[in-house]
Structure 1
Amino acid sequence: MSIFIGGAWPYANGSLHLGRVASLLPGDVIARYFRLKGEEVLYVSGSDCHGTPISIQANKEGVSPKVITDRYHNEFVDCFHKMGFSYDLYTRTDHPFHHEVVQEIFNQLLDHGVLYKKAVEQTYCNDCDRFLPDRYVEGNCPHCDSAARGDQCDVCSALLDPLELHNRSCKLCNGSPLSRLSDHYFLSLLKFQNKLENFVDQADGWRENAIGLSRRYLREGLQDRAATRDLDWG
C-alpha cells in the first residue's frame, strides 16, 4: 500500500512559533508510523510563498515579496532539519514546477466549465492607485459587527466579500476604498451543491464541528467564489 501525506504549508511571512510546529508534527508522526510498518510513504509539504499576508509584510518592510519568502523559507528548512522532520519533499509555491501544475489544473477546470470569467465590482483605493485584494480591506462584519477582514469574519465564521464590510478601510493607507469593475475567474461552487450535500451526509470519522459548519454553509446555499485576485504576487 502507498501512503500519501500532504502536510500543511506554513505561510512564509513570519517565523514559526510553537503552535505552528505543533500543527505540523502529526504528519511527521504518521509518516514515521507507516514507514515502520514497511509501507511506501510519500510525505510532502512546503512553504506557501504567495498570497496577501506576504505582500502586506513586504509593503511594511519596503522590499519585494521574494525577499520575505526567501528569508522565511530558508528559516523553515533549517528549523525542520534541526528538529528531524522526515519530509520526502519540502518545496515552495513559487517554484516553477508548482506554477506549472497549478496552471495545468486551472486550465482543466476552465475547459470543464468549473471556472468562468465575469466582471465584478472590486474595492479600489484611489490613494494607493490599485485594486485591493480581500485581505487588504478591513472593516466591520455585516452579520455580527465584529472587526473583520475582507475574506471572512473570524468571530461568526461568515464568508465575506470586501464590499460587504461596514466602515471599510485600506490596510495599506487607512483610506476609504471605492469600487470599480474588474474581470475575474470564479469557481462554480453552486454546481456542486447536491453532490456536496450527499458527501457530507455520508461523512465518516469527521469531527462534529467540521460536519456542523459544512452543513451550515450548505443550508445557506453555496456561493460561487473568486479564484483570482488583483495581486501581482501569486
Structure 2
Amino acid sequence: MKKADVVDFYARLAEADPHPETELEFVNPFTLVVAVALSAQATDAGVNKATRALFAEVATPAKMVALGLDGLKAHIRTIGLFNTKAKNVIALSQMLIDEFGGEVPPDRESLERLPGVGRKTANVVMNVAFGAETFAVDTHIFRVGNRTGLARGKTPLAVELKLDKATPQPFRLHAHHWLILHGRYVCKARTPECWRCIVADLCAYKPKTPAPKAMKTAGAPAPALLRDPQRTRSSAG
C-alpha cells in the first residue's frame, strides 16, 4: 500500500471511530493483564461475562492470590483452557507481588516474564494501560494486514514490524484497535463485507465481496465499524 493510501486508510477509520477502545472490560492495569491473558482462544464477550463478578471482588494481585486457584477457576470455568489460564493468573499475580511491588510493569521485557503473557498480551497492556504506540497482532490484525496489503507478513511478528514501520502519526496510538475492530466486524475471516467497507478502494483484496441481495433491496449499508451496544466500556483504552 502506498504511503498516501496508508494515511487515507487510517484517516477514514479514525473518522468513523475517533476514540476506539479495547472491548475487554477491566478496572486497572492488573485486571487488564488478567483479561488479556484469559482472552487467548476465547472471545472478548465470553471473557467479560466471566470476569465481571471476579473483578468486582478481585482487583489486585494480593487479592487474586488470596482467592486461590480453586476460587479463580469457579469464576472463569466458562472460558476455554480455564485450568491452565487459572494457574498462570495465580502465578503472575504472585510474581507481581514478589518482583514488582504488586504493580504491573510498563515495559515489554518485564511483562513477557509473567506466566501466560506473550508478546501480543504485552503489547495490548503497554498500549491500553500505558499509552505506548504498540501493535498487538491477533488473528484479526494478521488477516487485515495481509488481505489489504497494509502490512503483509507470514508471522504475527513480521506483520507487527511492518505495521510499526508503515503507520504514521497521528494514527499510531489507536492503530491496532482500529484494525482489530475492522477485522472483527467488517473484514471478516470467511466472507469480508467489502460492500460496506469504507477503505475498500484502498484494499488489495480481490475480488471484492458484493452486497447480499437482501441488502441491495433494503437500501443503505450498515456503518463500517460496529459496536456491541450491550457491552460496558472499559475505564481506559
What TM-score does the superposition give when structure 2 sets the normalisation length? Answer: 0.22
Greater relative contact order (CA < 8 Å, ≥ 6 in sequence): 2
The structure richer in strand per residue is: 1
Q: Which has the higher helix share?
A: 2
TM-score by length of 1: 0.22
**Rg larger in structure:** 1
